[in-house]
Amino acid sequence: MHESSIVESLIKNLEKKVLSENIYKIIKINLVVGETTGYMEESLVHYFESLPKATALKDSILQIKYIKPQLLCKKCNKNFERTRFSFECPDCGETGEMTKIGTEFYIDNIEVEI
């Protein structure tokens, strides 16, 4: 259940932002999550809705955008999307190296009511 702690710290960060920027209400949170993290959308939303949080966050909508993992082929010097069972470059067949793409977890932006 690692989603509960990551959502807890997400809520804490948002609560800090609410206080420091005098935000009345957060309408929507656009979150970017890499698929490599393994965080499931339904779990993230579930914890976001069920964990205790400040009034400004009570009715906020958590919108999640998933990023597909990408590997780097050193031979072709380009990134390619990883498929489920293969790490091989679609052009030359070389085994790709992991990149940071697909490991994201950050707030892209929030929509607020002041």
Does 72 contact Zn ion by CB under 5 A? no
Whose CB is nearest to Zn ion? 89
**Is the C-alpha dihedral spanning 4, 38, 17, 60 positive or negative?**
negative
User: What residues have CB less than 8 Å from 26, skipping those under 6 apart?
Assistant: 14, 18, 56, 57, 60, 110, 111, 112, 113
Contact characters 83-112, Zn ion, x per CB under 5 A: ------x-xx-x------------------
**Parallel/antiparallel/unpaired status of strands 97-98 and 70-73:** antiparallel
Closer residue to Zn ion (CB): 32 or 76: 76
| Residues at the contact surface with Zn ion, assessed by CB under 5 A | 73, 75-76, 89, 91-92, 94
